[in-house]
Amino acid sequence: MITALLFLSVIVGLLGLVGTDWPVGNHVLFDQIYRHLPAIFDNLGVEAINKNTLGGVLASFPPLLLSLLWDKGGFGRLKSHYEKLSAIPEFVYKGFVAFCFIFCSGILLLTQSRGAWLGCAAGIFLLCVFKNKRFLWVLFPTGMVFLYFLFFRSEGNLLQLISLLDTSREATLPGRFEIWSKALLILRDFPLTGIGLGAFGEVYQQYFASIVLPSSADVVYHAHNTMLSVAVEVGIPGLLAYSILIGGFGAMSWKMLTCKRTINRVLAIGLACGIFSFLVYGLFDAFTLGRNLEIIYWIFLGCASALYVHDYSLSSSEVSYDFYQENLSSSKKDPAKKKQTRKQNRFLVVYWLVIALIALALVGLNVVLALMISIVSGVGIGVYYVRAIEEKHYETA
């Protein structure tokens, strides 16, 4: 898994290096670098990758790669159990991980995507806190700087403070507010089924005329917020299911913090911080479901789920694992266990249906409230469901 993720980071970085629509004209130094980069996609007549899309994907990799570098000897202990790995010097492995980290971070810097930069920084900070709780002290000076700019540079106005950071020529902040407000109107009109995957651009162009960005109204392909984009495209019930997945992932990641084998814990923390980076980035931008490079997000979720499911086998001896498998197989054949599993699945469906109906009933009253209820309730259901399965699954251990 580690090897596959390392090569995946290099592949995504190379793909962005040769196929991104770089934001020329925002910075002289960056423009000089862009002139020397190959534009293979342009020569092939293939649509270039949006720089914010690339930034959102790459934002998930630095926290993961930094976690692998900061493994506290985990790789050394891992390779001692495998004959083929024992021949690999640790400095070779760490050198390759460091190269991947520098390469991905460099391409991420070139994207000039502030949302991706913020997401990556948040993921790395969370990683540092997991590694050492002393990093929580960084919040104090950060809070003091925030308060200084809020009260002395922005006169206590949060929106004015945000506008100070919005120095681009594209009026990013006003454009975001306009898109969010109109996306909420679309959600109010299509709360049950949504408008369909990939249909946001066409709906936005036909029914809304941009005031802030009239020249770019025809290129607004998503709601520039992950949760809002999911809700608009697949409706409130779909957003609730999406939130349940995130809650389940959070519960599985929390469980993986107690892994017995260090390298598993290192990998799980890196994946969790990578997903956290994606979610922070998703506050200001979004991937369209089922399109573009969003597959990286699902790969991270799949790897974390695999670590959680196989935690016992990866942390136990062969004898104890065989004994565990025998007990697990016998428990699966137990009619009482099967009945309990079906009951938990029915409860999951009932919870999803009830919360979805409540949120749909509130759409006409307050669409933002309905949105928040779906997200918070979905995360809570995901956490509860995984914890319930965990108690049943590990009681035979």
Q: Find tokens 């999911």 and name the residue.
A: 230
Q: Please choose, from the candidates 20, 8, 109, the residue with its C-alpha nearest in 3D space to the C-alpha of residue 61.
A: 8
Q: For every one of its 397 residues, what pLDDT tens digit does the chain have, with 9 covering 90 and above?
A: 999 999 999 999 998 888 888 887 777 777 788 887 776 666 666 677 888 888 999 999 999 999 999 988 888 887 777 777 777 888 889 999 999 999 999 999 998 888 899 999 999 999 999 988 888 888 888 888 777 776 776 666 666 666 555 544 444 667 777 888 888 999 999 999 989 888 888 888 777 765 555 554 446 778 888 999 999 999 999 999 999 999 999 999 988 887 777 888 899 999 999 999 999 999 888 877 777 788 999 999 999 999 888 875 665 544 455 555 565 555 555 677 677 778 778 888 899 999 999 999 999 899 999 999 999 999 999 998 888 877 765 554 4
Helix (H) or strand (E) holding 20: strand 20-21
Query: Crossing angle for the helix pair 51-58 and 262-281, nearest 10 degrees?
Result: 150
Q: Domain locations in the chain?
A: 2-314
Q: How far apart are CA 377 and CA 208, in angstroms?
A: 31
Q: How far apart are CA 295 and CA 56, in angstroms?
A: 12
What is the model's pLDDT at position 245? 93
Please give the backbone phi and psi of residue 20, each rounded to the nearest 5 degrees, phi first: -100, 145
How distant is the alpha carbon of residue 186 from its chain centre? 25
Paired residues of 49 in beta bridges = 20
Contacting residues for 163 by C-beta, under 8 A, at least 6 apart = 173
What is the model's pLDDT at position 98? 96
Q: What pTM, to 2 d.p., does this model score?
A: 0.86
Task: Please give the structure tokens belonging to residue 33.
Answer: 């670098």
Q: How far apart are CA 12 and CA 235, in angstroms?
A: 31
What is the model's pLDDT at position 397? 47
The DSSP-derived string for 38-102 is --HHHHHTPPPEEHHHHHHHHTTHHHHHHHHHS-TTHHHHHHTT-HHHHTS-HHHHHHHHHHHHH
Q: Is 376 helix (H, G, I), strand (E, B) or coil?
A: helix
Q: How far apart are CA 242 and CA 358, in angstroms?
A: 17
Q: Is 139 helix (H, G, I), strand (E, B) or coil?
A: helix
How distant is the alpha carbon of residue 258 from its chain centre? 22
Q: How far apart are CA 118 and CA 256, in angstroms?
A: 25
Q: Please choose, from the candidates 121, 93, 77, 130, the residue with its C-alpha nearest in 3D space to the C-alpha of residue 263.
A: 77
Q: How far apart are CA 232 and CA 235, in angstroms?
A: 6
Kindly provide the b/e burial profile for residues 375-391, where b requires at least 16 CB atoms within 10 angstroms of the residue's own CB: bebbbebbbbbbeebee
The HSE-up count of residue 139 (CA atoms within 13 Å, CB side) is 9
Paired residues of 20 in beta bridges = 49
Q: Is the separation of the CB atoms in 284 and 225 below 8 Å?
A: yes
Q: Please choose, from the candidates 61, 131, 109, the residue with its C-alpha nearest in 3D space to the C-alpha of residue 276.
A: 61
Paired residues of 392 in beta bridges = none
The DSSP-derived string for 197-241 is TT-HHHHHHHH---SS-GGGGGG--S-SSHHHHHHHHHHHHHHHH
Contacting residues for 57 by C-beta, under 8 A, at least 6 apart = 12, 16, 293, 296
